[in-house]
Homo-oligomer: A and B are copies of this chain.
């Protein structure tokens, strides 16, 4: 690492180097094919050091894209709530992921809209990380759980697109409390499996 003129072992510098390598590697290879090993090689560090800093490929992806919350940990927290409270809690947390105009979540969404590589990366992350864990917030997840979860995630995604990307005023101008109040009963129906 000294070839870049950095103090060897500066943990913050190492972390940034790994994050840069992760963004490049995820963008080029997609989420599934990117490996801790290939990211470490790009960063010029040992794979063990990547694991030491980030814990898992998923957590590295979350950090590299500056998502304010790890969706998998978020689902785990929601799943601990009583079923009737989950709709509002999930809607609030999800809209909060994109609350900031400069959020990297929005950048990722913008990139996915126009770039097949970015879309593939986001798709793989959603399909292989978010969806399997997300079922845990559903009541009776065995009954059409995948589709119910997809409806929930899509509903909130559509609100984010209307609110943050297109800027439709009726949703862009409302605060998150109002939106959560309106959308939570519908999200709750998909959680309950009562259509």
Contacts and interface: CB of A to CB of B under 8 A. Distances in A.
B170 A159 contact: no
A150 B167 contact: no
Nearest to A163: B154
Interface stretch (A17-25, A29-37, A110-118): A110-118
A158 B126 CA distance: 14
Interface of A: 109-110, 112-114, 119-120, 122-123, 126-127, 131, 144, 146-151, 153-162, 165-171, 174, 178, 182-183, 185-186, 189-190, 195
B119 A167 contact: yes
Contacts of A167: 119-120, 123
A92 to B, nearest CB: 16
